[in-house]
């Protein structure tokens, strides 16, 4: 038995000894380490190790949840007492969906012990390689390593454990007021190459000199992995969120051909993340879009019960945001031919650039915010490099643009010209893990103004 599962079973025993009830206990031990650099110097180098115990208790028809980082016997007993007292004072919970039944795991992502225990020198070496490869340009970014060890047990008999590791590098090179980015993520920190990424960021920023302003309007675009990751992030958070779906605030209509046939969007436990959620439901491979047809949404037990579906492993502990897919990705398209070997172009996007008559190559989207959940209209800006493409060639850099775009319309039937053949793992900023993002070639993207006004 792992230490985390031991914590969970101790809490269950305490619940049973103090009045019983339906109880679910999720324990997660997280070791975060992040080495951050700016102006080509490591300036912040941080690490923490925290174990969090989450108890959900349904007793006498009422529900409450509580969490603690105090894992001593007294700390765990206090968690139970506090949560029981809170539940007793809550109104009856008429929509309690019950506990997850005993169910075996359906898959898991690997865990690399060397990454889980990586010393700061390992991360510093990756940063050193990034900085050196940038050839004297100013650089900034991070290298991070993370390990999650999880356990879940409930009073219905479900008991599962898991462990995963993750590493990521995300950095920019800076020149003349412009920035360009390169990033990657992996299960093993040894699979990352700071030198390759530093050289790519430097090559891109050197291609950003003397940008021109373009008028707003609809443009054909090739979106590189970072911009595609933003699209995935917003689809996941809002559109394929089981709670917004149950509340009819999502665009998603199951079984409807809402996307271009080239679009298949999946969340897959084999990519990464613990193989179960905070309710103990195993997480497998979830198809959200299958060849253009909306096929599923992420559910916890409550949202699933509300729409008569099955929970699929995306409960989020202690949050009211609702369940959303993790390790989301677009299935890559067929391998394309050679594209332009221009320093502005990520090799994973080159074949798509070759197919553009006149359009824009976009590296990243930035500060995207939703105007309306149902239509999934988003506003945001480009960042870290935009170039004009003519006749399949990158011809000049362009200043940043603001857009206002309905994301479902961007991936609608007929608007997706091609999906890149090579996905890039784009590390996520807030929740860890990554998005599996191939480049996208879209017929239209609605830019509403230049960033300069």
Residues 75-104 that bind other proteins (CB under 8 A): 75, 78-79, 82-83, 86-87, 89-91, 93-95
Residue 340, Cβ neighbours under 10 Å: how many? 17
Please give the helix or strand (H or E) that residue 409 lies within, else none.
Answer: helix 407-410
Interaction with other proteins in 253-312: which residues (CB under 8 A)? none
Q: Tokens representing 302? A: 């409550």
Strand partners, 151: 27, 161
Q: Is 124 in the site for other proteins (CB under 8 A)?
A: yes
Is 390 in a helix, a strand, or coil? strand
Give min distance, CB of 364 to other proteins, in A.
10
217-223 and 358-372: which strand pairing? Answer: parallel
Interaction with other proteins in 361-420: which residues (CB under 8 A)? 366-375, 377-381, 383, 400, 402, 404-406, 409
Give min distance, CB of 254 to other proteins, in A.
18
DSSP 275-291: SB-TT--B--EEEEEET
Is 446 in a helix, a strand, or coil? strand
In whole angstroms, what is the distance from residue 202 CA to residue 261 CA?
36
In this complex, which beta carbon is closest to other proteins, that of residue 108 or of residue 303?
303
Q: Is 51 in the site for other proteins (CB under 8 A)?
A: yes
In this complex, which beta carbon is closest to other proteins, that of residue 106 or of residue 399?
399
Task: State CA 364 to chain mean position distance.
Answer: 15
In whole angstroms, what is the distance from residue 123 CA to residue 31 CA?
14
Give min distance, CB of 174 to other proteins, in A.
7
In whole angstroms, what is the distance from residue 93 CA to residue 214 CA?
56
Contact 362, 380 (CB under 8 A): no
In this complex, which beta carbon is closest to other proteins, that of residue 55 or of residue 286?
55
For other proteins, the binding residue among 8, 24, 63, 416 (CB under 8 A) is 63
**CB under 8 A: which stretch of 114-122, 269-277, 328-336, 352-360 binds other proteins?**
114-122
Give min distance, CB of 217 to other proteins, in A.
13
Give min distance, CB of 48 to other proteins, in A.
4
Q: How many residues bind other proteins (CB under 8 A)?
A: 98
Contacts for 151 with CB less than 8 Å, ≥ 6 apart:
2, 4, 5, 7, 8, 26, 27, 159, 160, 161, 162
Is 100 in a helix, a strand, or coil? coil
Give min distance, CB of 389 to other proteins, in A.
23
In this complex, which beta carbon is closest to other proteins, that of residue 220 or of residue 268?
220
CA atoms within 13 A on the CB side of 324: 16
Interaction with other proteins in 145-174: which residues (CB under 8 A)? 170-172, 174
440-450 and 401-406: which strand pairing? Answer: antiparallel
Residues 258-276 as b or e (16 or more Cβ within 10 Å = b): bbbebbbbbbbbebbbbbb
Place of tokens 């989207």: 365
Q: Is 133 in the site for other proteins (CB under 8 A)?
A: no
Give min distance, CB of 85 to other proteins, in A.
8
For other proteins, the binding residue among 3, 18, 44, 60 (CB under 8 A) is 44
Interaction with other proteins in 12-41: which residues (CB under 8 A)? 32, 34-41
Give min distance, CB of 231 to other proteins, in A.
14
In this complex, which beta carbon is closest to other proteins, that of residue 105 or of residue 305?
305
In this complex, which beta carbon is closest to other proteins, that of residue 104 or of residue 414?
414
Interaction with other proteins in 427-446: which residues (CB under 8 A)? 429-430, 446
In whole angstroms, what is the distance from residue 279 CA to residue 264 CA?
27
Give min distance, CB of 339 to other proteins, in A.
27
Q: Tokens representing 128? A: 């050193």
Interaction with other proteins in 196-235: which residues (CB under 8 A)? none
């Amino acid at each position: 038995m792992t230490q985390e599962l031991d914590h969970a079973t101790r809490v269950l025993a305490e619940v049973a000894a103090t009045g019983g009830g339906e109880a679910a206990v999720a324990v997660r031990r997280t070791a975060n380490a992040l080495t951050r650099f700016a102006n080509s110097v490591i300036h912040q180098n941080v690490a923490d190790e925290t174990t969090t115990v989450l108890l959900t208790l349904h007793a006498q028809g009422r529900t409450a949840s509580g969490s603690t980082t105090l894992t001593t016997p007294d700390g765990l007993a206090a968690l139970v007492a506090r949560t029981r007292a809170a539940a007793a004072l809550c109104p009856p919970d008429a929509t309690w969906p019950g506990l997850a039944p005993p169910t075996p795991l359906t898959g898991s992502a690997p865990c690399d012990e060397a990454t889980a225990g990586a010393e700061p020198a390992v991360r510093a070496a990756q940063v050193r390689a990034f900085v050196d490869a940038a050839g004297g340009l100013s650089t900034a970014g991070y290298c991070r390593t993370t390990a999650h060890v999880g356990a879940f047990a409930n009073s219905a008999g479900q008991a599962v454990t898991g462990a995963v590791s993750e590493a990521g590098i995300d950095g920019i090179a800076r020149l003349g007021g412009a920035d360009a980015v390169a990033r990657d993520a992996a299960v093993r920190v040894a699979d990352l190459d700071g030198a390759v990424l530093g050289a790519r960021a430097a090559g891109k920023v050197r291609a950003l000199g003397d940008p021109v302003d373009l008028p707003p309007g609809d443009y054909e675009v090739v979106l590189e992995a970072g911009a595609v990751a933003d699209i995935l992030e917003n689809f996941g958070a809002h559109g394929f969120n089981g709670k917004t779906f149950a509340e009819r605030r999502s665009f998603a209509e199951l079984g409807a051909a809402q996307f271009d046939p080239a679009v298949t969007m999946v969340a897959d436990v084999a990519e990464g993340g613990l193989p179960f959620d905070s309710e103990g439901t195993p997480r497998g491979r979830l198809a959200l879009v299958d060849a253009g047809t909306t096929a599923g949404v992420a559910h916890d037990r409550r949202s699933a019960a509300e729409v008569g579906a099955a929970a699929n492993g995306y409960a989020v502990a202690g949050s009211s945001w609702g369940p959303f897919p993790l390790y989301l990705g677009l299935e890559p398209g067929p391998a394309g031919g050679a594209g332009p070997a221009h320093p502005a172009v990520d090799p994973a996007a080159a074949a798509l650039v070759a197919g553009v008559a006149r359009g824009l190559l976009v590296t990243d989207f930035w500060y995207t915010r939703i105007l309306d959940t149902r239509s999934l209209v988003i506003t945001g800006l480009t960042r870290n490099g935009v170039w004009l493409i003519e006749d399949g060639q990158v011809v000049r850099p362009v200043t940043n643009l603001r857009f206002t775009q309905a994301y479902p319309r961007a991936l609608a039937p007929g608007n997706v010209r091609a999906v890149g053949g090579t996905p890039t793992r784009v590390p996520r900023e807030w929740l860890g893990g990554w998005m599996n993002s191939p480049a996208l070639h879209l017929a239209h993207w609605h830019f509403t103004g230049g960033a300069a006004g």
